[in-house]
Structure 1
């Protein structure tokens, strides 16, 4: 059963009803707008979660929360989950002395607990052991088989149990040390160039998918959609993969091996029994774990969709209630080719007639567009080394949240890891530094400007009182009486107010461009200016005129209101405390409200500790 959670501004869903009807209900509530669909990778639960899992979940949650407040009338469908089939799970369960399903139940629960602890607002938590997912995988297999895109052939190549992945000769290299199992040390062990995982030569009679048939279509697609894969270096990497594939026509013996060969999508059941049986050959073959896992993005939105009429055939049209295609898929750089090449090729095959060489009649074509954006991030390391159980350097996300607080860890992951281009190092020292900075710039600032002494001084201001409109429209005025003669900005409150009003547009631009780090840079820059402004004016000083105190507090509160709205995707609990303390009604916390004028007259502000 799909584990759906209630999100704001939707009614309680009936967990016993099919997902299609629930999605249709959500769509009806939102005037039939296509839901915004964001996905994270489904995690492989062969071990407990580490900080990299939390990082990906936080990124997905940031964009989901952002979309919810950007357009509250549009539903958001946020998929997370676990990938529970494959040889690693089978072997780990055997080692633990339990059945694979029981093994997955335990570890999958730990990943879901991590998401809940971190306030991840997923709307569906998919497990590849669910019946709904199995039906979707079988439907895709049978459709591709009927179209002639699946055939049985001899597969020879390198297989990594660690990665649950086949590699070509061009994707492996000798390890630094000779294999302990090689004969006399003459043959070095081979590893994946991409992940450094060990590989072994495998020869099997498997079912194959005609991936090579889609090289040209994929290349044309990515050359036309220049921003689909972000950041740009990863888009270039996809084109390089396709360029190397086109070298098949080269007559040079030194030409790179094409990466877009047909791929194996099954394993013999004698080697792999824990997985979905091939529907056309259930006794002999198990569906390859990556083919199975990639289809979770379809099964997570109810694919194959229920009949559009009383016909027994499945609907092949996408209605407004269906979240597909994904608006944003968030992945690690090590699984880029699966999401940028394999999944799009499968979708193209589902939307295509039978290949010219096929003797099969073409089933009705399904309209399955490709995902809109693929956000590819680098990895987290510890002391510049890849996290590994053998090295004992795996960063525990639950321990980090217990020590520093959920929102501090979310903020650190987003601000340090929000650039995506390069690997970033998990550092408790840096985490402490960022924690202190945020507490000072935001938490202490809120307590300062809402203090009883400043509020009392502001109440002594005489009419006419400054307003946000008058402050924003004022020209250069004389500085406060206690300001230094060398003050750089003669009207710091006006400068701060105009900067605050520009913040929502700046943050929106950064998030729309998938630049999480830049969005937080804009917020922190505004908070630095806010702290500088209040220090410059010093409204707590007895020599500061009450009118200046009033104006300073008014601008500070407005800056905090706008900042609090913009911070909701990143640090939701702290943002909620801040907006509650400012007396901002629940209906005035969307993005449009951050860009609107408010009247602070009569509002009750309660300074509270945010951290």
Structure 2
């Protein structure tokens, strides 16, 4: 543990007033790809996800369901645990804000903020959106049918109540300094510009407690107040590291600051304005990066329950398969942009890139080894220029993929891998092993070995994206389980003469069910 570089990655904690949809799956899979990649690359990874369970919105949802908030959150939080299992997510911890460790951490952070002189008692009068759990200024609102709406489209209500305030206005310059000195703190770059413009526009002190409802963590020393849900929620990232224990040797000392907070663009402000301000006030380091990804539409339309086009992860997996779904979500759009989920695009990628390109390469090569080499991995005998060109391209993939994933460019990382898959398919056609079988069996052995070694390199690198399928390919090459990390890309090679099992297809083509078929 001690010799490896720590890497701490988090999903946002998901709000428990609704069922998980493809947007939740998208964020969680992206974090899982990063976590798996970093583990294979030798890092000591801590990967956190969980659920955000306090606040007025949850209290109202529980009332509507006719049960108490704790029973409601127990049920809905389990849906997100189930989602992680369903998607083959390798999180190391799952946090719930209703846990005792969260109460301890949030109240400890509150005391730090009080001690720093950045919290005072006052009275709040202003607009609040229960749906967003956010405060809005008059200048941010629009009016329609006598009602006011937030920029998100959520209805707002006028709130007047005693409240503790955080002196957010005092943090305008420290925050702008942070954004200037660390340009990759907020990614992608367009989002950084948005946040900087917002902060330059001036910051108002932030109401951080409520008295008109009770479902939340009590303010220490003043239990008539519950803490603002975002102060509570954001603290989860340090709760999971054992805060307030920050002593040398603690998890907090090892993993904080977080390397990457992955969030949807709708909660960027909370993570890049409020959260670093709270941390700076408490004398704690700020995270290294907050990355805001885009939203998915469905067949060109916004996802909505009323339209009935909400894409459920379970339905995708049942229809297309787990690794196919993971692949599509990471490949279809540049991470950070908005994207459209279309059935046609999904099928094109499954049949074109997975079945035809990757799957067919594996099937052709392994079938030829089975047929032409008695099912044993051939022994190479003198690599020629086309072989070394192929192997060099395969070995160069890691550097490219690592660089792309370090900036969360998932689609570009996959482009780099698919470039090598395309080169390997062309190499098969140019070398024509079926002809070499009749004319030069020694050369045939070298060509098939080159291809098998290329597939090994590709399969090791596709593990973070498609773990099950990649491992099935590596199984067919008889690659030992302890030789599948990135260290093995350089040190490990296939051994000629190894008997291989009969090849099995890994990426079946998707065939549309016939109309009326059950």
- With structure 1 as the length reference, what TM-score do the two structures score? 0.79
Distance 1:319 1:42 in 2: 20
Partner of 1:608 in structure 2? 504
Residue from 387, 396, 402 that aligns with 2:312: 396
Unaligned runs of 5+ in 1: 1-29, 183-188, 246-259, 307-314, 352-367, 476-490
Aligned equivalent of 2:193:
236
The alpha-carbon deviation at position 108 of structure 1 amounts to 0.6
Asked whether 1:156 is paired with 2:125, we answer yes
2:513 matched residue in structure 1:
none
2:510 corresponding residue in structure 1? none
1:292 equivalent in structure 2: 232
1:422 and 2:322 aligned: no
Could you say which residue in structure 2 is the equivalent of 1:274?
Answer: 215
Partner of 2:512: none
Q: Which position in structure 2 is the counterpart of 1:190? A: 148
2:402 corresponds to 1:508: yes
Q: CA deviation at 1:164?
A: 1.0
**How many matched pairs?**
503
2:68 maps to 1:86: no
1:565 CA drift (Å): 0.9
Report whether the alignment pairs 1:43 with 2:1: no
Q: CA 1:581–1:459 in structure 2 vs 1: closer, same or farther (change >3 Å)?
A: closer
Structure 2 gaps, min length 5: 508-518
Match of 1:457 among 372, 381, 386: 372
SS of the counterpart of 1:322?
helix
- In 2, the alpha carbon distance for the partners of 1:562 and 1:413 equals 23
In structure 2, how many angstroms separate the alpha carbons of the residues matched to 1:147 and 1:597? Answer: 54
For the residues of structure 2 that align with 1:521 and 1:460, how far apart are their CA atoms? 32
Query: Cα offset for 1:166?
Result: 0.9
Matched, 1:528 2:417: no
Note if 1:221 corresponds to 2:206. Answer: no
CA apart distance, 1:429? 1.6
Residue 125 of structure 1 is aligned with which of 61, 76, 94? 94
- Structure 1 96/499 Cα, relative in aligned 2: closer, same or farther at 3 Å? same
Contact 1:538 1:544 in 2 (8 A): no
Name the CA distance, whole Å, in 1 between partners of 2:495 and 2:24. 42
Structure 1 CA distance for aligned equivalents of residues 450 and 171 of structure 2? 57
Deviation at 1:32, TM superposition (A): 5.8
Q: Any idea what SS the aligned residue of 1:422 has?
A: coil
Match 2:350 to one of 435, 442, 450? 435
Q: What corresponds to 2:511 in structure 1? A: none
What residue in structure 2 maps to residue 57 of structure 1? 28
Worse overlay, 379-388 or 562-571? 379-388
How large is the RMSD of aligned CA atoms in angstroms? 2.1
Change beyond 3 A, Cα 1:454–1:593? closer
1:228-258 deviation digits (Å, cap 9, x = unpaired): 211111122221122212xxxxxxxxxxxxx
What is the Cα deviation at residue 605 of structure 1? 2.6
Give the structure 1 partner of residue 287 of structure 2.
371
Match of 2:167 among 179, 203, 210: 210
1:34–1:320 CA contact under 8 A, matched in 2: no
Is 1:588 matched up with 2:483?
yes
1:448 aligns with 2:391: no
Is it true that 1:322 corresponds to 2:265 in the alignment? Answer: no
Deviation at 1:392, TM superposition (A): 1.4
Q: Which residue of structure 2 lines up, in the alignment, with residue 548 of structure 1?
A: 443
Write the deviation string for residues 360-403 of structure 1: whole angstroms up to 9, x where unpaired: xxxxxxxx211111111011111333222122111011111111
Displacement of 1:336:
0.7
| Native 8 Å contact 1:32 1:320 kept in 2 | no
Call closer, same or farther: CA 1:503–1:279 in 2, change over 3 Å: same
Contact 2:11 2:31 in 1 (8 A): yes
Q: Provide Cα deviations, 1:146-188, integer angstroms capped at 9, x if missing partner.
A: 32211112222221111111112333223xxx32xx3xxxxxx
Distance in 1 separating the partners of 2:477 and 2:499? 7
1:563 pairs with one of 440, 446, 458: 458
How far is the alpha carbon of 1:201 from its aligned partner?
2.7
Q: Name the counterpart of 1:572.
A: 467
Contact kept in structure 2, 1:459 and 1:550, CA below 8 Å: no
Contact 2:238 2:252 in 1 (8 A): no
Q: 1:494 is matched with which residue: 388, 394, 403?
A: 388
The answer to whether the 8 A contact 1:69-1:590 is kept is: yes
Q: Which has the larger radius of gyration?
A: 1
Residue 31 of structure 1 deviates from its aligned partner by 2.0
Q: Quick one: structure 1 residues 120 and 523, their matched pair in 2 at CA, closer, same or farther if it must change by over 3 Å?
A: same
Q: Is 2:65 the counterpart of 1:96? A: yes
Equivalent in the alignment of 2:243: 303
Match of 1:361 in 2: none
Pick the structure with more helix per residue: 2
Partner of 1:411: 327
For 2:358, what is the secondary structure of its paired residue?
helix
